Structure 1
Amino acid sequence: MTTGRIYLDHNATAPLIAAARAAMLDALDAGGNASSVHETGRRARARIEQARAHVAAMVGARSGDVSFTSGGTEANNHIIQSAARQEGALVVSSIEHPSVLEAASEAARAAGRELRLIPCDRDGLIRPEALQQILEAEPCPPALVSVMLANNETGVIQPIAELARLAHAAGAPMHSDAAQAAGRIPVAMAELGVDYLSLSAHKMGGPHGAGAVITGCGAALHPLLFGGGQERKLRPGTENLAGIAGFGAAAEQVEARLGEMNRIKGLREELEKRIQALDAQILVLGGGADRLPNTSLLARPGLKAETIVMALDLDGAAISAGAACSSGKTGAGHVPQAMGYGDDAARAAFRVSLGPENSLEDIARFADILAPIIERMTKNRTGRMAA
């Protein structure tokens, strides 16, 4: 990241850690196609299998249950499109990442399935009773229930283990998108009780272009592509050797990153205290729920998040207006709306997400930069309303 700037957008992408960069450069220098049987190919294969073991260990899975993808979006699409081949509705939460919501909508349309959205409460929490109500109304077991482990905008952590228990009792498999959670809270397949887990390397200090689908014991997954035997014939094509090596190295460092999270949570609490002191109308969306220690979704109703983000960028601070995948779009975000906020607050929501590189000095500087921006925008809005 550029020297002197404050980077507070780790949920969009975390800076590449040194271990991942070293592993990638080593793999690039070594080269090789992991499908080749000669020594260079075998060494490439060994790098991939070592990375697979590290990713599996990070979530308490077996190496053979890890299939590498190009990222979290592909992982989510693979799981959902595979599930849509089965009878029954696709049941997903109303606050999912677009790679789940849009994939489920398209898969349901193409397969002639119903799409059910699980509502959240005011704090962005998917309550078990909300899922239970949907399950009880279904004429047959759903093809899939999908609820993210932690929301990418609010950071709210969902009760996945209880939701998975309800899904299984209704005869449905359970998927959880853990892209934002991995590296910020402990993630264990067995404790979550899910059948499918999706991961993204660049959210946890790994490279862009690498992700994974983790399947539980006995969980079915169908290929979307054909023409090769790579990744247990689930994703044919020559593997992204450098990306996978970097992903494995980042996964190996997750325990150390988790050790930083108490400090980061303290920084987030200080940040929210300072920002709310700037204006009594600033809200912390999801503040009443258990959240990722690094994530804060804030809103000053009546102001435009895009304008705040641009002003901060000009003054040397990087954040997002809601989800980074929505960059370039205007309008109210679907997550605040699903939480019951009106357009006035939903259009104002901006996300600050911290990482191990951040310090108390960053928080103080950010608050100092934001203060005159909020004051100026509020005065301008008041003036327009008076006119």
Structure 2
Amino acid sequence: MSVYLDHAATTPMLPAAQRVLVEHLARTGNPSSLHTAGRAARRVVEESRERVAASLGARPSEVVWTCGGTESDNLAVKGLFWARRAHDTSRRRLLVSAVEHHAVLDPAFWMAEHAGAELVLLPVDGDGVIELDALRAELEAHGDQAALLSVMWANNEVGSLQPLGEVVALARRHGVPVHADAVQAVGQVPVDFAASGLDALTVSGHKVGGPGGVGALLARRDLGLTPVLHGGGQERGVRSGTLDAALLASFAVAVEDAVAHQAEHAQHVAGLRDALVAGIRRAVPDAVLRGPADSARRLPANAHLTFPGCEGDSLLYLLDSAGVEVSTGSACQAGVPQPSHVLLAMGVDEDDARGALRLTFGRTSRATDVDRVLEVLPAAVDRARAAGLAGRRRAGAQTSAAASAPDVAGVR
């Protein structure tokens, strides 16, 4: 029996979204063409725009189509910064929380290296929630130099919900536009762009039961955005590129469904999440739940735990061999496992951070999935700990041998 508990990475397409995608893939027409087929494709694009806008509390003119969450985040960070700098050269500070997705962090670091930005990483507490006092102090000291603030709606690793109402209120006092990556939030918690007071918001198709390769940046119509892509001038001149009517139609169906069934979905996955966490704590008493303990302050589908003495990658492979697919929640660069920047920002030490697992539920998740995880996890933890202990002993022996070796500098 195979168990898939990595819905935060990507979740299966909804049957309705699949049907719409296949239906529109059979049609021909570039939405920018003026003939009959082109106009038909344009109608699909604009109807999809209206459906996404209505579902997320936005105006249709505020929906800018992109190829997904990463592009939307890049457009928000780079486009907002460049537009603000063009209007006011003193606006150089780029504020982002330390636990943002790399789709926000990496362009922010790039802007600091290549575009003259002064990057400010805002600290978080032990639950992964932005420290409002630190944000307040930063804005009071340098608010007139801030180009933008980016704070995600919900953290993709530990599930922490950010206090966006307070964040937006603080930023407003200093005229600082706020962007939020809401890729994980849509469909799990209520998301209303207008009510949030945000200036820009990111959403992605494959996280809500739609296809991959499509997403949107919701951006206030009067918000200055410098394009990152140049070409045909589509999407009000902000995002050039031929629009894929089939992907957009499928995406719109998925967003509508995710929002319409958000409450019942949240109740379903939260029950599974709570049963899983309780079971893990019984089976592996020293496992530590990361993120807020209060379920009202975290995503309902998210369970993120660290297992002392384990390497998360070892646990992942052991569980995978038992038919359970999960995530470590950590980055792997050039084949070298790295502890999660999110956990490190929360104050978790490196050794504990390396023993992380993220288990996330979706529409297809069932109670039997929880049972299977609890059946195979204890043995996987024992084997991972044994492997980790053996590795540490080998490393210690090598260190001791190197320390006692004679000095042979210059000898070949």
TM-score (norm 1): 0.95
| Distance of 1:81 and 1:325 partners within structure 2 | 25
Q: Of 375, 383, 393, which residue of structure 2 is paired with 1:376? A: 383
Output the amino acid matched with 1:42.
R
| Distance of 1:386 and 1:32 partners within structure 2 | 64
Q: Of 261, 265, 273, which residue of structure 1 is paired with 2:278? A: 273
Inter-CA distance 326–25: structure 2 relative to 1 (3 Å threshold)? farther
Residue 201 (structure 1) aligned with residue 205 (structure 2): yes
Aligned length, in residue pairs = 384
Q: Find the counterpart in structure 2 of residue 331 from structure 1.
A: 338
Larger-Rg structure:
2
Q: Deviations over 1:321-348 (max 9, x none)?
A: 1057879550211000000000111111
Q: Offset at 1:236?
A: 1.4
**Which stretch has the larger CA shift, 169-178 or 81-90?**
81-90
Q: Of 226, 230, 235, which residue of structure 1 is paired with 2:230? A: 226
Q: Find the counterpart in structure 2 of residue 20 from structure 1.
A: 17
Inter-CA distance 312–385: structure 2 relative to 1 (3 Å threshold)? same
Inter-CA distance 44–18: structure 2 relative to 1 (3 Å threshold)? same
Output the amino acid matched with 1:281.
D
Q: Deviations over 1:252-304 (max 9, x none)?
A: 21212442211210100000011111222100101335100001111112210
Q: Is the 8 A contact 1:135 1:170 kept in 2?
A: yes
Q: Is the 8 A contact 2:29 2:37 kept in 1?
A: yes
Output the amino acid matched with 2:152.
M
Query: How do residues 1-387 of structure 1 correspond to structure 2 at under 5 angstroms?
Result: 4-85=1-82, 86=85, 87-138=91-142, 140-254=144-258, 255-289=260-294, 290-322=297-329, 329-381=336-388
| Distance of 2:299 and 2:195 partners within structure 1 | 18
User: What SS is found at the alignment partner of 1:321?
Assistant: coil
Q: Deviations over 1:162-219 (max 9, x none)?
A: 1011011112100000001011111011222110001111111111100101012522
Q: Is the 8 A contact 1:141 1:171 kept in 2?
A: no
Q: Deviations over 1:205-246 (max 9, x none)?
A: 111100101012522222122221321121112112222111
Inter-CA distance 326–313: structure 2 relative to 1 (3 Å threshold)? farther
Q: Offset at 1:375?
A: 2.1
| Distance of 1:252 and 1:108 partners within structure 2 | 37
Q: Offset at 1:380?
A: 4.4
| Distance of 2:370 and 2:334 partners within structure 1 | 23
Identity percentage over the alignment?
39
Q: Is the 8 A contact 1:321 1:327 kept in 2?
A: no
| Distance of 2:221 and 2:201 partners within structure 1 | 12
Q: Which stretches in structure 1 are left out of the alignment for 5+ residues?
A: none
Q: Is the 8 A contact 1:52 1:66 kept in 2?
A: yes
| Distance of 1:71 and 1:155 partners within structure 2 | 20
Output the amino acid matched with 1:252.
E
Output the amino acid matched with 2:197.
G
Q: Offset at 1:88?
A: 2.6
Q: Please report the RMSD computed on the Cα atoms of aligned residues, expressed in angstroms.
A: 1.8
Q: Which stretches in structure 2 are left out of the alignment for 5+ residues?
A: 86-90, 395-412
Output the amino acid matched with 2:49.
R
Q: Is the 8 A contact 1:128 1:163 kept in 2?
A: yes
Q: Offset at 1:158?
A: 0.3
| Distance of 2:45 and 2:338 partners within structure 1 | 42
| Distance of 1:327 and 1:281 partners within structure 2 | 31
Output the amino acid matched with 2:307.
R
TM-score (norm 2): 0.89
